[in-house]
Amino acid sequence: MVSIVFLVAAAIAVISALFVVVPRNPTTNLLSLVVMFFAMAAIFAILGMDFLAAIQIIVYSGAILVLFLFVIMLLNIRRVEAFGSGRPIQALLGTLVAAGIGGIVLVIAGLLLPVAGGVLPGAVDLGTAIPIGRALMSTHLFAFEFITLLLVAAIVGAFYLGKREEE
Amino acid sequence: MDAVAIPYTWVLALSAVLFAIGTMGVLLRRNGIAIFLSLEIMLNSANLAFAAFAFRFASDHATAAAALDGQLFIFFVIAVAAAEAAVGLALFILLQRRKGSIDVDRANILRW
């Protein structure tokens, strides 16, 4: 039962990822990415990571993609170049490199296959906000504070770059 | 509940496929927004690999701390992705203002 749900979510993720990469309309790409993020959130939930599933939907689908949508609307991009419309050698090399990277990871996954059969979802209750929040505020406090610094720097940088320069 | 275990290698394989799709998008598209969206796919597939191993280590109480660390890494990757999206989109707005297009081939001043 759980594995069927996982396979369905995985199929949705792969198909919508293809719809992000191939179609020419940026809005189509963006909305397929939303579908992919929801499939990813479903997979996180299956794996027992409730907090991350919520974060995935709230931060990615809620905040980051709205930002993308704003920019697409602001720049008024309708149709862009077709997928792989560059030089043929470029398209060929790109496909080969992508297939090679995917193949390497698949081989590594295959080598790891006999190590462990897998575990039941939610075997250990580590995915809720309580253990994650506790770890963030104790063991990983420095990294957590550093992320806040990074976000402030990103805000300032984006504001500076987006400012209209006076001629 | 007929609990059937999911092999964590399935998650890893899905991560590999998504990473390959994202790489293809980054290498084959020239529109800035499309490249950025493909980049988000790649970040998500990396998250999925972290999740796969966190899932694998969560099965064992001795290594449960490592599972928690894996989830925290996903949290940090999401935060960095948010920062990166803000700065990157500001750059694309600037590119559009300067060049009239966000085709990345137009940004060629630093190219020899």
Contacts B11 to A, Cβ<8 Å: 43, 47
Same-domain pairing of A2 and A73:
yes
User: How many residues belong to chain A?
Assistant: 167
Residue of A80, A97, A108, A141 to mutate, interface with B, max B Cβ within 10 Å: A80
Record: contact B51-A47, CB cut-off 8 A: yes
Contacts of residue A19, defined as CB under 8 A and 6 or more positions apart, other chains included, come to A28, A29, A32, A35
At A31, the amino acid letter reads L
Q: What average pLDDT does chain A have?
A: 82
CA distances A68 to A24, A71, A75, B33, B82, Å, are 16, 5, 11, 8, 11
> What tokens were used for B42?
């790649």
For residue B3, pLDDT beyond 60: no
Do the domain assignments include residue A149? yes
Chain A contacts of B5, Cβ < 8 Å? 3, 117-120
pLDDT band at residue A92 using 50, 70 and 90 as cut-offs? confident
What residue ranges do the domains of chain B occupy? Answer: 8-105
Residues A76 and A138 in one domain: no
Segment B40-86, tens digit of pLDDT? 999 999 999 888 888 777 766 666 677 788 888 999 999 999 999 99
CB atoms B1 and A1 under 8 Å: yes
Range of the domain at A162: 125-167
pLDDT of res. A139: 85
Residues A12 and A73 in one domain: yes
Question: What's the pLDDT at B1?
Answer: 36
Q: Among the three residues A52, A82, A112, which one is the final residue of a domain in this structure?
A: A82
- The token pair that represents A33 in the structure block: 């990415």
Question: Are residues A129 and A73 part of one domain?
Answer: no
Instruction: Looking at the complex, report in whole angstroms how far the Cα of residue B37 sits from the nearest Cα belonging to chain A.
Output: 7
CATH code that applies to domain B8-105: 1.10.287.3510
Range name among B28-37, B88-97, B103-112 with the lowest pLDDT average: B103-112
Residues 84-113 (A) with a CB less than 8 A from some CB of B:
84-86, 90-91, 93-95, 97-99, 101-103, 105-106, 108-110, 112-113
In whole angstroms, what is the distance from residue A42 CA to residue A56 CA? 10
User: Do the domain assignments include residue A143?
Assistant: yes
Q: What is the pLDDT of residue A166?
A: 63
Asked if residue A41 has pLDDT above 90, the reply is yes
Residue A112 located in a structural domain: no
| Together in a domain, A75 and A19 | yes
For chain A, the domain total comes to: 2
Q: With a cut of 90, say whether residue A156 has pLDDT above it.
A: yes
Tokens of residue A158, six digits = 């984006």
